[in-house]
């Protein structure tokens, strides 16, 4: 009799587990899928490999759509692509949409595309995304930081591609 009570109580726990976990897994799966879709969509729209966009998001925020970073110069970086507040003047009222991960990806791709237009589809463009300048234009510690950033991007690309 006690054995049956244990079985009945464990079934109840299992049902509660299913009620909580399955919807959570669906949301997480949808969230991951929507992220992937946005990287692909942004890449197709701007002619950039989605792999590079994913790597930038990985390095910048570990894919955290709510990431906020306060910089020493007083600027602030937002969303998983860490869009700097410098871009407020270019985005206008659309700035407030950066909390949407897909929009954030599109803005990050747009910024990277501007760097690619200026420096070519090179690591200088990736350095530009991070610093606003190419490696050739940077000196000292800023250049070292940009080189480290590029190494992190390369490492992330290799991890994501596996």
Of 126, 114, 124, the residue nearest 155 (C-alpha)? 126
Q: Please give the DSSP secondary-structure letter assigned to residue 91.
A: H
Q: Which two tokens stand for residue 25?
A: 């897994």
Q: Where are the domains of the chain?
A: 2-161
Quote the pTM value: 0.77
CATH topology for 2-161 is: Lysozyme (1.10.530)
Q: Tens digit of pLDDT per residue, the chain (162 long)?
A: 443 444 344 455 555 545 555 554 444 444 444 455 699 999 999 999 999 999 999 999 999 999 999 999 999 999 999 999 999 999 999 999 999 999 999 999 999 999 999 999 999 999 999 999 999 999 999 999 999 999 999 999 999 998
């Amino acid at each position: 009799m006690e054995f049956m009570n244990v079985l009945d109580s464990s079934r109840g726990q299992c049902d509660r587990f299913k009620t909580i976990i399955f919807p959570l897994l669906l949301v997480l799966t949808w969230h991951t899928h929507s992220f992937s879709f946005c990287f692909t969509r942004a890449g197709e729209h701007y002619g950039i490999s989605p792999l590079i966009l994913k790597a930038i998001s990985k390095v910048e925020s570990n894919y955290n759509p709510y990431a906020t970073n306060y910089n020493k110069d007083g600027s602030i970086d937002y969303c998983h692509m860490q869009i700097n507040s410098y871009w407020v003047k270019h985005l206008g009222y659309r700035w407030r949409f950066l909390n949407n991960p897909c929009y954030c990806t599109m803005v990050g791709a747009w910024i990277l595309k501007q760097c690619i237009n200026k420096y070519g589809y090179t690591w200088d463009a990736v350095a530009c995304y991070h610093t606003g300048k190419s490696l050739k234009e940077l000196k000292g510690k800023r250049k070292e930081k940009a080189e480290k950033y590029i190494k992190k991007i390369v490492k992330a690309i290799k991890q994501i591609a596996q």
